[in-house]
Structure 1
Amino acid sequence: MSGQEDGARPAVTLVGDQWSPECSVVRTFLTRSEVAYTWLRPGDPRGGRMLADHGLTAADAPVLFDEAGRMLRARGLEPVAEWLGLHTDPGGGAYDLVVVGGGPAGMAAAVYGASEGLRTVLVERWAIGGQSGLTSRIENYLGFPEGISGADLADRARRQAEKFGAELVLTRHASTLAETETETQTQTGDGFTLGFADGGSVTARAVILATGANTRTLHAPGVSDFVGRGVYYYSALTEAPLCTGAEVYIVGGANSAGQAAIYFSECAHKVVLLVRGESLEQEMSTYLIKQIAAIASIEVRTHTEVAAAAGDSHLEQLTLRDTRTDTTETVEATWLFAFIGAAPDTAWLGPRFLRDDAGGLVTGNDIAALAAPEPAWPLTRAPYHLETTVPGVFAAGDVRSWSGRRVAAAVGEGSMAVMLVHKYLEA
């Protein structure tokens, strides 16, 4: 169950099976969107009765009900968001700035853009917060000595952006970025058109790309069969209450995995952290390594990877491989959470955007260094810092080449990008 104190959004009831991938997605979305909800299984007396009263069965789940008697079979996040009354359509007209992505970089850009007088719209394909919104605890972000959850930080950012008048549009997937008039991937004085996968669009004089990165997935045999049924990516906050007293496996050696391990240790009987490398020191912050070492219920297994997954209606077994000896071990497992990094979300952009080998957008002074054999920058002036190879389009956060991969770095870049947008628009 999740909720918020101001009561701005309606309380709803979700009826869905624990091992339903669709139900898992909806639960995560409701939690991320700060929607108060009660979750019932179809086999619960009340859950079964609610389905029957509407002529439905367990096969129709997940289903949402609200206090007004409305019902929705939850198929896709955009219909769910619309049913909840969340903002899913831009207000219309030309904007000064469109921000693509609602993570820390995008939210910082929305706050600073709107507070400094730009008519700003932010487009997020899922929920505000990005991957950091799923982080159980952020302890090295300036100004929060006791730490703050990613969800709390995201909610504060949302309220702050709305306070200054930024328009936040949810569950709209950006699919094209084009010149407003000619539909070519370039820039003119008229600005840009950001197209959505469903055919809608929004226009703006300048663009900040803060789309972050797409989560990498495990490719071991059987793993994909259990996504949402025991295998989860960046879903610690939603699933943790179900793991009380259980043994939890976490894959990853960077900060997100370490934060999840500490978070799960508060409810799980045991947490096993699987790391491909020889130690945590390669990618994880020192403060997290020290905390993990002090928690007896966390076991760190280095040189270990998931080789296979098996089960019936949900995950029941994992095969683990020692990368040094190539020997395997089969263990009973119901919960596996993977935090194995992500790739910059840039595939949807056109060829004029210069990328590095990892797919990150190259910006500013770095353009000249990577633009061989032909220049990628089309103007006589030099590109502004954070400006991509398309003038007027800036990049901030994890989507950018050589980004800091930290919340503070993303917030700083999102804020700086707005300063550069002003400079671009005033030129």
Structure 2
Amino acid sequence: MLTDLPNRWVGPINELVKDLGYNGMVLVADEGDPISDFGKLVFKNTRHVVDRIIDHMKITAKIHVAVIVDSAQSFQACAVELDDDEFCILIWMAALIRTSASLSRLLATPAAREFFALEPELASVSEVAHGENTFAAYDSLSLLPRIDLGDVGNDFRRYLEFMASEWLVLHEIGHIVQGHLAVGKTVNGLTYILEQDPSVDRDYNITSQALEVDADCFANLFCVQYSLGRHHILERDGASHDEVVVGRLKPYLFSMLSVLRSFDHSPLNLETLFDSDHPPGCVRMSYLLAQMLTMQSETTIDFKGANLVEAGGLAAITLERAISEATGVNSQGGNLLSAVSIPDEVFRKPVLSRWAKIYPELNAIKLSPFKLARPQYEPA
């Protein structure tokens, strides 16, 4: 199966994608080719993630899944409201292909192999991505062919790919479940929230960034719980409870950070922080690592005795080292370090106080009985 989107919505979705400036369409026809086969896998994995959260949260609304093939763009994903209690998550196939390619090359680096204690028989990496800076180099890395990591390495790569896509899908579900589409944009009768949709309206951008942070945290909460319950191929027998927790968190942290890292195309600039309706990837990385510490302090999740500061820091450092080794361009994690040091009043206060302002409206229209995250500041 390639999509469960009803036929009556395929045309409007294709028109929406076109109106937004993309050269893509819903994958519907099964041609029996590699694109169709990969589309089936993307649909199956996405549908699994959606169904799991629907069952867990007792959601009665319909949430469809559609895979977008695009001849020109490597866009990520989009949440769309079709009608009352009917929604759709659009997943761009190219984004997952590029994620697979970049993860294969990151896992081939000494930094990643040391981090995961991964020692497969690796194919010779003849091509190394280059760029004028670390952002261009990391982007070009995903355009190179995926490399063979051997049986164990390829299996682990697929595990990371699934968790990266799971986070992306849950982020979009967060937009739907938390009522965010009430303040989304509408084109031709369809309301949507688009990943990386630039706007010149600073006031709108602050509201949108608040929604993005909330959707990030929604995805992070469930992904952390899911990852802690999963055994993976590199997990060793006889490990202590603390070692198991850290060992299961590391693949999730690495995959999630690798996705968010790709959202940045230039060094962090505080003066342009609100020139987009999405926070910079490094700011989102910093916020989600901090959220995990909040989960631990509030005992929302039992992390046993795991040192989350060390686990998160090592994952971020390893990612930067791996990017440097795979591309030949070294950033030394400057963007994330800059994000961590942003004064509270510069980012969190304006964004989270805006979240507090729209909280009552969203809480009234959310799709589940679960409480939304509590506002951390006075409304503004």
Higher-Rg member (1/2): 1
TM-score, L = length of structure 2: 0.24
Structure number with the higher helix fraction is 2
TM-score, L = length of structure 1: 0.22
Structure number with the higher strand fraction is 1
**Which protein, 1 or 2, shows the higher relative CO under an 8 Å CA cutoff with sep ≥ 6?**
2
